[in-house]
Chains A and B, each alone.
Chain A
Amino acid sequence: MEFLIDAFKNAFFLIVSLDKELLEIITLSLKVSLTALFFASLFGIPFGAFLGLKNFLGKTVILILLNTGMGLPPVVVGLFLYMLFSRSGPLGFLQLLYTPTAMIIAQFILAFPIVTALTQSAIVKVDPIIKLTARTLGATPFQVALTVIKEARYGIVAGVIAGLGRVMAEVGAILIVGGNIAGYTRVITTTIALETDKGNFELALALGIILLIISFIINISFYIIQKRGIPPNIAWL
């Protein structure tokens, strides 16, 4: 029990004193995850909107694949990327293994299906009358799409936040492709995974607390935005 109290005390001290290593790890975590999210949104939102607006042959297959993608086990993603990027693999010449870039790629793969699927879902939930109204007000097909996306904005942002929540919490993928190299590929989750039993317990604990706080903030944002996104009921309809 005393061990725990001491550990918490030391962990809090690390946080409050803005320990250099702690900040380095948190900064790298945010850099990697936010960059991955950026690209996941850059490709996922338009693709999700496209899926929500258009019907085409094979669309069901893609939707099923996306849903599978949402539940991809991170370690499996890590494993496949490892096979791809290792020197014995087809993309070994890129020398991406054990770099932050590989981590960003891994997290992109994890976040993309979430952003896409939730965007598609948000788009589909938009009342069809909106599309028609936009058209009758003279919007080009592209403008119609943008208008629908704008109407679905809360749902889309919620999707992006959900993606962020997933990648900030995962460890399997980035541990395998990143290698937890100090100051280079060591992030919050990988530190907790590998440093806990190595006498770096206070650091791991401090990071655990920070991650919980980040997670909490992410979830609150998600909740608020989802709530805001539900438009006030049109009573007279």
Chain B
Amino acid sequence: MKKEFFRLIISLLLIFFFSSFASTQQRIITIATTTSVENSGLLEYLLPHFEKKTGIKVKVIAVLVHAKELELKAVKEGWFVNRKEVCYNDFIIVGPLNDPAKVKTSKDVISAFKKIAQAKATFVSRGDKSGTHIKELKIWELTGINPKGNPWYLEAGQGMEKTLFMANEKDAYTLTDRGTWLAVKPRLKYLTLLFEGDPLLFNQYSIMAVNPKRHPHINYEDALRFIEWITSHEGQKLIGEFRDKFGNQLFIPNAK
């Protein structure tokens, strides 16, 4: 943990150090972000709006970091300032209307999964090594149950929409991201949201600026401008409207 933290700080500082030697005619800021955000295509979609509006060019660098605790620690220790929450995505369990495994009354996601296994209720898995699938497998690991091979555990091997339709047909439970659920819900007559809220299922994305007190040469004003913009009504609206290539909503804006 400590080593990772140290690595995070060093890599971020190095990035900003080198980028500060860029030409002073063009206003530039640099964003470091996680691979999943980069891969989602969100920034590719958002940044042109900001660049057009303000004339500030944004460079994006992907850094392998994703941990709220690390972020908060970095702020506390003065490396970063102006941390603002931007958006989130979370996973939910959806299932049959009559909820045979009584998932709705579970106290956490691990016991919800346990109940499903015990009831041998049909569960449809993505089975395609996607982010959702990996999250699902992690939870199974924590329950100590290996669902693979059971007749009630169906691995679709397909995308979230297809998996949801399959669960709909088979009166099955499935783990889904909220964005896809919201998009497809009107076409799923036999499924309903049964469980949400466990921290294990939650991914918060925040933004923060490098502390100008520690590094005076960085373009702090423009960085602030970006933070302001992305948490503004306009930026938040754009985030909410963003869709991946399958038409799924990936991020839910939650800036305060």
Contact = CB atoms under 8 A, between A and B. Distances in A.
Contact of B155 (A88, A95, A183, A199): A183
Interface stretch (A47-55, A174-182, A210-218): A174-182
A147 interface: no
B155 A182 contact: yes
Contacts of A182: 127, 154-157
Contacts of B168: 87
Contacts of B156: 179-182
Given A181-B157, A182-B154, 5 more contacts: A179-B158, A180-B158, A181-B166, A184-B151, A195-B157
Interface in B57-84: none
B169 interface: yes
B7 interface: no
5 contacts: A98-B154, A98-B170, A181-B154, A182-B157, A184-B151
A87 to B, nearest CB: 6
A87 B157 contact: no
Contacts of A86: 169
A194 B190 CA distance: 26
Contacts of B158: 179-180, 194
Interface string B134-162: 00000000000000010100111110001
B234 interface: no
Interface size class of A (residues with CB under 8 A): 10 to 19
Contacts of B162: 179
A182 B155 CA distance: 5
A194 B127 CA distance: 12
Contacts of B129: 198-199
B155 A87 contact: no
Nearest to B162: A179
Interface in A179-196: 179-184, 186, 194-195
B189 interface: yes
**Residue from B149, B151, B158 whose CB has the most chain A CB atoms within 10 Å:** B158
> What 9 A-B pairs are tightest by C-beta distance, nearest first?
A182-B155, A181-B154, A97-B169, A180-B157, A198-B128, A179-B166, A87-B169, A182-B127, A194-B157
B166 A87 contact: no
A90 to B, nearest CB: 15
Interface residues of B, number: 17
A182 B128 CA distance: 10
A81 B28 CA distance: 57
Contacts of A195: 157
A88 B190 CA distance: 10
Contact of A98 (B149, B151, B169): B169
Interface string A25-52: 0000000000000000000000000000
A97 B162 CA distance: 13
B157 A98 contact: no
A194 B155 CA distance: 13
Nearest to A195: B157
A87 B189 contact: yes
B160 to A, nearest CB: 14
Contacts of B128: 198
Nearest to B130: A198
Contacts of A181: 154-157, 166
Nearest to A87: B169
A3 to B, nearest CB: 19
A186 B155 CA distance: 10
Contacts of B170: 95, 97-98
A159 B129 CA distance: 42
Contacts of A194: 157-158
B126 to A, nearest CB: 11
Contacts of A179: 156, 158, 162, 166
A51 B10 CA distance: 83
Interface string B168-197: 111000000000000000000110000000
A128 to B, nearest CB: 53
A219 B55 CA distance: 66
A46 to B, nearest CB: 35
Contacts of A199: 129
A88 B165 CA distance: 12
A179 B162 CA distance: 9
Contact of B157 (A88, A95, A97, A198): A198
A204 B21 CA distance: 50
A97 B154 CA distance: 13
